[in-house]
Structure 1
Amino acid sequence: MMIKLGFSRCEVDTSVFYRRTRSGLIIVLVHVDDCTIAATTIALIMEFKVLIAEHVEITDLGELHWLLGIEIKRDRDRRTISLSQRSYLDSILRRYGFQDLKPVSIPMDTNARLSSAQSPATTAEFAQMRDVPYLEAVGSLMYAALGTRPDIAFAVQTVSRFSKKPGPAHWEAVKRIFRYLKGSTELWLVYGGNQKELVGYADADGSMAEDRHAISGYAFIIYGGAVSWSAKRQDIIALSTTEAEYVAATHAAKEALWLRSLISQVFDTTLDATTLFSDNQSAIALTKDHQYHARSKHIDVRFHFIRWIVERGSIRLIYCPTDDMVADTLTKALPSAKVKHFATELGLAAA
C-alpha cells in the first residue's frame, strides 16, 4: 500500500518508508499498527493522513508524545527532541517492589566479581532463589537498556548471563541496577546538540570475564545523542588486548555501515568518512597495515573486514584517550564520576 502511495521502502530497514517530492521529504516509520510520521512541512503530513485514510481506518493521535512506552518531548525554542522511559521505569520498580529501595549512583559495583561459582549448588540455595523473579526483572531492564538507557547496558548484559542459575549475589546485582534507575528516572536522551555528524566509539575489556571472553562495546552519536549502542560478549577468546580492541572495532564498523546506509538512502545525501574512535593505538595500526605479523596471523579473516572499510574511506579510525572513550561505560563497571560523565556524553540529561 505504501508503495502505491508513492513511497519507497528503505533497503536497510524495512519498517522505514520515505517519499521525496518538490514539496519536501516525508518519512513514515511503521511498527505493527503504529505509524510515526516526520516531514519537512506540516502540509506533507496532512496530505499523507488524507491519503492513508482512503485505504485503512486510522486513529489520528496528533503530535507525537508517546511511542511504544517511550515519552517524547520537543522543545522548539531549543531545537531539541528528548526521549524518556520514566513512566515505564516507575512501573517496573513498583512491579518488583523496589520503589522504596535507596538509590545509588552507579548501576554496578566496581568491586563486584560475578561468576557462575555464585550460582546455587545446594537444595537450600535453590529453594532460596525459587520465588525470585530473576528472568522477569532482567527482561524488564533489557527494554530500558535497549530503548533510552545506554548507561545500564553493560550491567544488564552482565546479569543476563546468569539467567539459567541465578544466585543471591546475582540478584543483588539486579537490584542495584533498579536502585540506580530509581535515582535517575528523570534522565532524558536528548538530541539537538552542536555535534551534527555521526561519530562512533568502540572499546573492549576482558579483565573481569571469568571465561576469557572480552566485552565489546560501541556507541554512535549524532546531534549530541546516542542512536545506537551495544555491550556484547565476544564470540572468540582474544589472545591480547590489541586483538580484543580490533574485534570490537570491526563490530562497530559493521554498525557504522548500516547507519551510513540508512542516513544516505532516506535523506539522499553523501556522507564523508565516519569517525570511529578507539583507545588502542595497536588496533588502529592493525587496520591500516596489511603486512604479515606473527602475533596477529591467527586472527580470523572475517575480522579483517574493517581494513577494507577503512581503505574504502567509509570509516576513519582515530585514537581517543581512555578518559574520553565513551564506550568505556559499555564494557566495564565504572566509578560514579565516570558514569555521570559518559552518560552526559551519550546524551542523557535531566529534564
Structure 2
Amino acid sequence: MWPHAVRHATVARNHVLTKCKWLAKIKTDEKGEPSVYKSRLVAKGFQQKEKEDYKEVFAPNCYKAIYGLKQAPRCWYNRLASALEGIGFRASACDESLFLMGEGESLVLLLVYVDDILLFSSSDKEIDGVQQKLTEQFKCKSLGEARYYLGMHIERDTERGWLKLHQGQYINTLAEKYSLQEERLGEGNVFLSCFADATWASEHEDSSSVGGYICMVGGGPVSWRSKKQSETALSSVESEYMAMFHAAKEMIWLRRLLKEIGHEQTCATPLFSDSKGAIAMARNAVLHGLNKHMRIKWHWLRKEVKLGTLDPIYVKTQQQPADFLTKRLAEEPHWRCVRMAGMSLN
C-alpha cells in the first residue's frame, strides 16, 4: 500500500465508521487476454450521509481518497488538475476531463478518465516532457503508443494518415451474446450536423411529448438523447421546436469542443427537422397565437440562427434518423433509422 495511506486511529465518541472491503479485478489487453491482476481497498461509500460524513473535503483520519468514498472523485480530480496546471496545462472550457497545453505544432491534449490518462501530440518531445513531469509527482508508468484505452482499440497508419477507434472485442462479445452482426460505420470529415425530432402528446398518462436528437461528426453519431419533455407542448410544432432547442444546446457545446481540438466549424451547423412549422418558428421572431405563450428561453434558438451558428433545414420523415428516438417503430423503419444514423454498414 502507499506509504502514509492508512494508520491506526482512536475512534471518536458517537462517530459512525465507514466500512471497507477488498475488490479483485482482472484487467485484459486488446486481445481480451488477462494482463494485470489488481486488488483494491474500497470504502462502502453508499453508507455515507451528506454533511454528516463528508462535505467537499474528507475526514482527517483518511489520508488518501480511496475508491468508494463519495468525495474521492473530487479529491483526486482536484489533486490531478492542480498538478497539470502546475506544468502548464489548462482545463478545457467545454469538458473538464480534457486538458490542453501549447498551440500549433506543440499542442498537447491530455484526456483523463479517473486515473487513466491519454496523451495526444504531433511532437514526441512534448509527450516525453509531460510524462517525465507527471512521474515526478505520481507513481505511474507509460504504456507506450496507445493501442487500447477504456475498452477501445486504437489503430493508426501514419503513412496513409488515418486513425481508427473501435471496440471490436467488446462488440464481438455482444454480437455473439445477442446474435447481432451489425457493425458501426465511422468514416468522413470532421463536419458537425444534427437531427432533431419529437412526438406530440404521445404519453397517455400526462399528454407529454418525447423529444430526441442525434449529433453526427463525419457521418457517425457522437451524441444523442431521447427524453420526455418536461413542459407540455400545446401543438406538434411546439414539441418539435423544443426538441430543436435541446439539440441546439448540444450542438453549441460540440462546436466549442471541436474548435478547441483544432476542428473549428467554419459555417453554420445544419439542424435537420421534419417540421416546417418549427423551422419557420426558429427563423421568424414574430410572436403570434401559436407561440406567444412559450417561455422566452425556448426562443434562444432564434438568436443562434440569426447569428449564423445554426441552420434549420427541412428533411422528410423518411430521412429523419432521430425518428426512432421518439417512439417505437416497426422493424423496417427502425433499421432504416439505424442505417441513416451511421450505425450499420448494410
Please report the TM-score for the alignment, with normalisation by the length of structure 1: 0.67
Counterpart CA distance in 2 for 1:207 and 1:82 is 40
- For residue 285 of structure 1, what is the amino acid of its counterpart? A
Counterpart CA distance in 2 for 1:333 and 1:89 is 26
- For residue 187 of structure 1, what is the amino acid of its counterpart? E
- For residue 92 of structure 2, what is the amino acid of its counterpart? C
Counterpart CA distance in 1 for 2:135 and 2:166 is 28
Structure 1 residues 207, 63: CA separation in 2 closer, same or farther (over 3 Å shift)? farther
Partner of 1:31: 113
2:183 matches 1:187: yes
Partner of 1:79: 162
Partner of 2:132: 50
Partner of 2:21: none
Corresponding residue SS for 2:84: coil
Once the two structures are superposed, what CA deviation does each residue of 1:185-207 show, in whole Å capped at 9, x if it has no partner?
x634x4332x4311111111236
* Structure 2 residue runs without a partner (length 5+): 1-82
Structure 1 residues 22, 78: CA separation in 2 closer, same or farther (over 3 Å shift)? closer
Partner of 2:285: 290
Corresponding residue SS for 2:109: strand
Counterpart CA distance in 1 for 2:332 and 2:102 is 46
Partner of 2:190: 196
2:145 matches 1:63: yes
Is contact 2:200–2:235 with CA below 8 Å preserved after alignment?
Answer: no
Choose the corresponding residue for 1:223, options 218, 221, 232: 218
Q: How far 1:39 sits from its partner (Å)?
A: 2.1
Once the two structures are superposed, what CA deviation does each residue of 1:130-178 show, in whole Å capped at 9, x if it has no partner?
xxxxxxxxxxxxxxxxxxxxxxxxxxxxxxxxxxxxxxxxxxxxxxxxx
Structure 1 residues 67, 73: CA separation in 2 closer, same or farther (over 3 Å shift)? closer
Is contact 2:202–2:208 with CA below 8 Å preserved after alignment?
Answer: no
Choose the corresponding residue for 1:310, options 289, 305, 322: 305
Counterpart CA distance in 2 for 1:339 and 1:78 is 35
CA RMSD of aligned residues (A): 2.7
Structure 1 residues 82, 345: CA separation in 2 closer, same or farther (over 3 Å shift)? farther
Please identify the structure whose Cα radius of gyration is greater: 2
Once the two structures are superposed, what CA deviation does each residue of 1:217-265 show, in whole Å capped at 9, x if it has no partner?
1111112211111111100111111000000000011111111122223
Corresponding residue SS for 2:190: coil
Counterpart CA distance in 2 for 1:22 and 1:13 is 20
- For residue 203 of structure 1, what is the amino acid of its counterpart? D
Counterpart CA distance in 2 for 1:36 and 1:281 is 44
Corresponding residue SS for 1:11: coil
Equivalence map 1:47-196=2 (5 Å): 47-68=129-150, 70-74=151-155, 76=157, 79-84=162-167, 87=170, 90=173, 99=177, 179=178, 182-184=179-181, 187-188=183-184, 190-193=185-188, 195-196=189-190
Corresponding residue SS for 1:230: strand
Residues matched between the structures, number: 261
Q: How far 1:209 sits from its partner (Å)?
A: 2.1
Corresponding residue SS for 1:50: helix
Q: How far 1:291 sits from its partner (Å)?
A: 1.5
Counterpart CA distance in 1 for 2:333 and 2:90 is 43
Counterpart CA distance in 2 for 1:42 and 1:210 is 59
Q: How far 1:344 sits from its partner (Å)?
A: 3.0
- For residue 165 of structure 2, what is the amino acid of its counterpart? S
- For residue 140 of structure 2, what is the amino acid of its counterpart? I
Q: How far 1:67 sits from its partner (Å)?
A: 3.4
Partner of 1:175: none
Percent of aligned positions with the same letter in both sequences? 28
Counterpart CA distance in 2 for 1:23 and 1:17 is 16
Counterpart CA distance in 1 for 2:344 and 2:131 is 34
Partner of 1:150: none
2:346 matches 1:263: no
Counterpart CA distance in 2 for 1:335 and 1:343 is 12
Counterpart CA distance in 2 for 1:217 and 1:87 is 27
